Amino acid sequence: MAKTNFTKIAKEVIETEIQSLKKLKKNIKNSFNKAVQAILNCKKGKIIVSGVGKSGIIAKKIASTLSSVGTPSFFVDASSCSHGDLGQISSNDVLILISLSGETDELKNIIQYANRNKKIILIAIVSKKNSLLYKASDIKILLPEVKEAGPSSIVPTSSTIVQLSIGDALAIATMKYKKFGKSDFKKFHPSGSLSIKLKTVEDLMITGKKIPIINENLKMKNALNIITNKKLGVLIVKNLKGSTTGIITDGQIRRESQKNKDLQGLTVKKVMTLNPVSVNADMLAAKALSLMNLRKITSLCVHSKKNTKKTIGIIHIHNILEANIT
């Protein structure tokens, strides 16, 4: 094989596509605003995205991205629409058709169907101004004609990059308007590394009867039985008003037993550590882990927003590590 500088080719391809994106940026018009508004106003219908070939693959990605950031969207295969799948498109839908030429045969039936139903808003993402798709659409996002990377510009490269970029822009614009945040994102992404990073203390904490809570006036003899049965290595201490006043750990008990032979006869109040570290339930679990490492402790009390003195849960370092959060 002749020696070829493949890294040089890679850089040339990327540079060509960068120039295409710069051209796209200069060509963003008010039609983009209209498209975003149409998507946001689609309350009674669906967002349908379609295309053919490479444009169809981009359409799938755009539909998926919109759905993942709070705008339910569906990909419809243009080729199947001529064989019954047009029934998936109905009144009040927003239909986004993506095509480089705007003259693809498979799209013609969809365009005619949309034009017959005046309640369907047709958004075109197209590169040819004189095309059938451009002329038939209600909202026209005209993409600039760009140079494809590679010999003779025969492979769709730069053109699909600009299609993908405008789709991402639509998704992020709707996302920002809806104030779609981390907690919303986590609901739609219950699995995966990103979801793990977004887990909160509330997702992992121990609650209800599993919380080892004892009264501060209880004798240590009874407290020892409870900490053994609960198997968490920690006891949360409260006063008669229900407010958390202290904490006792198994390590603390071992140290105290070496100092005091009459440990079992003491009250919990005389042994406990005052004012245990407590966090809000909506704190990210990763941040809670950092706090444990900083304080060199293995458990945190969890309080509600309304009452920081009342413990509603407890989170142990094992709960966090078992969730693969590091």
Q: Can you give the pLDDT at residue 188?
A: 66
What's the CA gap between 220 and 211, in Å, rounded? 18
For 237, the token pair is: 């201490």
Q: Can you give the pLDDT at residue 212?
A: 87
Q: Can you give the pLDDT at residue 74?
A: 92
Q: Can you give the pLDDT at residue 2?
A: 62
Coil, helix or strand at residue 133: helix
What's the CA gap between 116 and 270, in Å, rounded? 82
| Paired residues of 95 in beta bridges | 48, 122
Q: Return the residue matching tokens 């693809």.
A: 104
Q: Can you give the pLDDT at residue 79?
A: 80
For 249, the token pair is: 């750990």
* Closest C-alpha to 54, from 170, 131, 161: 161
Q: Can you give the pLDDT at residue 28?
A: 95
Does the pTM of the predicted model rise above 0.85?
no
Q: Can you give the pLDDT at residue 21?
A: 97
324 dihedral zone (left: phi>0; alpha: psi -120 to 50; beta): left
* Closest C-alpha to 288, from 301, 305, 275: 301
Angle CA 244–249–250, to nearest 5 = 150
Coil, helix or strand at residue 104: coil
Q: Can you give the pLDDT at residue 229?
A: 86
Q: Can you give the pLDDT at residue 232?
A: 83
Q: Can you give the pLDDT at residue 192?
A: 64
| Packed helices 220-230 and 250-259: angle between N→C axes, nearest 10 degrees | 150
Residue boundaries of the structural domains of the chain: 6-180, 201-322
Per-residue pLDDT tens digits for 62-100: 999 998 888 989 999 888 876 777 888 888 899 999 999
Q: Which CATH class is domain 6-180?
A: alpha beta
Q: Can you give the pLDDT at residue 190?
A: 62
Q: CB count, 10 Å around CB of 292?
A: 19
Q: Can you give the pLDDT at residue 49?
A: 96
What's the CA gap between 301 and 238, in Å, rounded? 12
Q: Can you give the pLDDT at residue 133?
A: 95
Alpha-carbon Rg for the chain in angstroms: 30
* Closest C-alpha to 81, from 44, 49, 118: 49
Contact 236, 218 (CB under 8 A): no
Q: Can you give the pLDDT at residue 228?
A: 86
Q: Which CATH class is domain 201-322?
A: alpha beta
Q: Can you give the pLDDT at residue 26?
A: 96
* Residue numbers of the chain with a pLDDT score lower than 50: none
Beta strand 73-75 pairing with 94-99: unpaired
Q: Can you give the pLDDT at residue 25?
A: 96
Q: Can you give the pLDDT at residue 273?
A: 86
- Where b means 16+ CB within 10 Å and e means fewer, 110-142 reads bbebbeeeeebbbbbbbbbeebbbbebbbbbbb
Q: Can you give the pLDDT at residue 73?
A: 92
Q: Can you give the pLDDT at residue 146?
A: 94
Per-residue pLDDT tens digits for 133-171: 999 999 999 999 999 998 888 889 999 999 999 999 999
For 301, the token pair is: 């009390």
* Closest C-alpha to 63, from 90, 39, 38: 39
